[in-house]
Structure 1
């Protein structure tokens, strides 16, 4: 559904997010520093996702657990469904959230073997107009390749940080996904069920 170049960059970010790399992190900053939180996500994934004794299916399951823990799936689902969220029934919303979640997990959990030593470097972070929303600026370093600018929209819910969006080289993953999903629904006579079915097929 994504342009090929953008999809490759998204893969790199997700691969790094749930792949091994030597990061230093002080847990005492986790609840107050959104920048440290972004770095912590990778650190917390190392033991579970790089254990060679764990088979690929188990790693996919663990990826799903990490995704559920660190991404605000309901809020992201509401955003990417765009204008059709208000039109959808309660049952459709529940089905879409589940289908969208499974689609994302399936798409990225199959790419673990593509990790090639990328390193994530924290630059800084800033508040958006909403005091509970932060924009964390990072750089993804690749060997013999240009740096990739990666920004993270981080929200704070009940004293816990969650990821709302990832912006890669100025392109929002959430906005791009919303454009694709709304287009699919538009092309199918406004049928949210059709989009849900397509996501299930890809999961």
Structure 2
């Protein structure tokens, strides 16, 4: 989830969405597929998750010039697994048709989506020129177990890029369920639009193939 190509794609696909509509989508995106009993977890833990992920992205950027794509993919994949609730992100991105897919299709889709998500970050965060990440101590509440963590990446020269994270409290800690480019453009909303078109025309197998092709394109064929 993920900066340049992600923000540009999201902007062209979702620039017309109003902030109120987006926040409505975020509540949907953050809603758990089931609601287990949860212990109280301080908000500081949610910001700590993003700080750690930002450090992982900086490591990926610093290694971009001399480490090949596969090795950077292997280094970043565990961080994505730790930070994101990929199953929830995928289910909401697919929409109502998710429940109509077989368990086998859901499993293959999740594998392809995980690969695509990691590949997107590896491809977009592939060079370092003194950029720095900051995470605001302030958060925006979306309910008892949901919040937005405010983050941005600042270049040495030029304007900062806002990358905020919608997070949900789960039994294993705070997990990301959406990313907001420029503070308002929902990655889940963009994916939902893209996925709906593919699913309508080819079903779950077509979406698996599309995600696999995108991963290959992002990696210049390294992820075949």
> Under a length normalisation based on structure 2, what TM-score does the superposition of the two structures give?
0.68
Contact 1:126 1:136 in 2 (8 A): yes
Change (3 A) 1:158 1:75: same
Q: 1: distance between equivalents of 2:109 and 2:171? A: 24
Retained in 2: the 8 A contact 1:45–1:66?
Answer: no
Highest RCO, 1 vs 2 (Cα 8 Å, sep ≥ 6): 2
Which residue of 1 is the match for residue 123 of structure 2?
110
CA displacement, residues 38-73 of structure 1 (integer Å, 9 cap, x when unaligned): 112233666688579x94232211111111111111
User: 1:194: Cα distance to partner?
Assistant: 0.9
**How has the CA–CA distance of structure 1 residues 5 and 94 changed in structure 2, closer, same or farther, with 3 Å as cutoff?**
closer
Change (3 A) 1:9 1:78: closer
Equivalent residue pairs, number = 178
Alignment correspondent of 1:128: 142
- Rounded Cα–Cα distance in structure 1 between residues aligned with 2:155 and 2:6: 16
Deviations 1:133-182 (A, max 9, x none): 11112233223322323221111211512111110121011111111111
Query: Which blocks of at least 5 consecutive residues in structure 1 are unaligned?
Result: 11-30
Q: Any residues of structure 2 matched to 1:139-150 within 5 Å, and which?
A: 139-150=152-163
Match of 1:6 in 2: 7
CA RMSD of aligned residues (A): 3.0
Give 1:125 shift. Answer: 0.5
Aligned to 1:173: 187
Describe the superposition over 1:79-128 as per-residue Cα deviations: whole angstroms up to 9, x where unpaired: 11112212211111111111111112223323443333222222310321
Residues 171/46 of structure 1: CA separation in 2 closer, same or farther (3 Å cut): closer
Q: Distance in 2 between matches of 1:196 and 1:108?
A: 19
Q: How does 1:1-203 map to 2 (within 5 A)?
A: 4=5, 6-7=7-8, 32=42, 33=44, 34-43=46-55, 50=62, 55-56=67-68, 57-123=70-136, 124-129=138-143, 131-169=144-182, 170-186=184-200, 188-189=201-202, 191-203=203-215
Q: Distance in 1 between matches of 2:186 and 2:102?
A: 27
Unmatched segments (≥5 aa) in structure 2: 12-40, 216-224
Partner residue in 2 for 1:20: none
Distance 1:152 1:45 in 2: 14
Alignment check: 8 A CA contact 2:142 2:148 kept: yes
TM-score when normalising by structure 1: 0.74
